[in-house]
Amino acid sequence: MDEKMSATAALGSYAKACPHAFMPYVEQTLSTLAGMSNYWHDEARAAAYDSLQKLTLAIHRVFTPSTSTSVAIAAAGPVVLSEQCRVLVEAAMPSLTSPVEDDVSKVAVTAAAAALGHLLKELGQGAVGPIHLEAAANMAKALLENKAMCQEAEDDDEEGDAGDDEELAAEDEELLAAAADLLPALALSMGQDAYAPVFRSLHVEPLIARLKPQQPIALRAIAAGAVAEVAEKLGARMAPVVPTLLPLLLRELQSSDDINRQNAAYCSGLLVQASPEQATPFMPQLLTALHNMFRPEEAAGAQDNAVGAVGRIMTAVPQALPLGQVLPVLLGAMPLKEDLNETT
């Protein structure tokens, strides 16, 4: 079993490392991976899903136009795949989206979702057709709603060992994180204008449910991070959902967990930046919650994101802040200590 899993993973690694040398073996490898994606052991299936996206991207690299042509294509609009890569995409996409409906293993479905997200990001806007994007969006929805077969199979299992709770919780977190990563990947692949209504109709309600206080604290952190990543991509298109999301994030800003506060601070700043008008009614509570994150005992990453949030609020709603009081506190938290991305 270990040999099969390792060999399946190796195929993807070889294709990624040596794409030109691997070309004579593409057809045979694709057939092998298709078979392994239905293998009885979940870790072998997980390896097959990952290798499928690596093989597809290897073909994409080999048959991608030269740098100068790529720049011209990017400037002109959506990505145009080579015929060779299109064949691989058509084969890989159903194999990566179908596990949400027919695979009972969270480990395998996590690998499929992660592979799908990476593939969408790497191929770029317009590379994947609407039928496959719809399947990917529905996959993300099912996972966020806890309605994938692997999630329902666990709910039906009444013989669970209490000693496995920690392992099951870790699997839940990894699965939700992979589903969350699909959302910005879909925004990139579909384009902002096309994904915004999809987000509002399919994904925002499940994320809101994941942010409710009865959800495990780690899953709430992942949901807040997912909203932030979508807000980065959609910007002002987030406006209709800002009044619903900000109260939930205000609660997370008071969480006992550092990561929850960090993600909520980052997300809150992005939502204010995206829609200052919709965020204005929440400004007093938001500023109070962020102010509490400038305490000396606050975790470095959380405080860095609070700095970033206040900076975004200053640029989006300068009239909402008493700058004479805010600037000394803000400057006192400089330089950033952990999340240096907030410098941008």
Q: For 227-254, how does the pLDDT look when each residue is reduced to its tens digit (9 = 90+)?
A: 999 999 999 999 999 999 999 999 999 9
pLDDT score of 338: 85
Interatomic CA distance for residues 338 and 197, integer angstroms? 35
Quickly count: other Cβ atoms within 10 Å of residue 180's Cβ: 27
Q: Could you give the CA distance from residue 99 to residue 48 in angstroms, rounded to a whole number?
A: 12
Among positive and negative, which fits the CA dihedral 225, 229, 234, 235? Answer: positive
Please tell me whether residue 245 adopts helix, strand or coil conformation.
Answer: helix
How do residues 163-220 score in pLDDT, each as one tens digit?
578 899 999 999 999 999 999 999 999 999 999 999 999 999 999 999 999 999 999 9
pLDDT value for 55: 97
Contact 48, 91 (CB under 8 A): no
287-316 pLDDT per residue, tens: 999 999 999 999 999 999 999 999 999 999
* Residue in 96, 93, 94 with CA at minimum distance from that of residue 111: 96
* C-beta separation of 53 from 92 below 8 A: yes
How far, CA to CA in Å, does 285 sit from each of 56, 210, 259?
Answer: 48, 22, 20
Q: State the sign of the Cα–Cα–Cα–Cα dihedral 35, 36, 39, 42.
A: negative
CA angle 92, 97, 103 (to 5 degrees): 110
pLDDT band at 74 (very low <50, low <70, confident <90, very high): very low
- What's the sign of the alpha-carbon dihedral 214, 216, 221, 223? negative
Contact 124, 79 (CB under 8 A): yes
Close Cβ partners of 312 (under 8 Å, ≥ 6 residues apart): 269, 270, 272, 273
d(CA 232, CA 182): 14
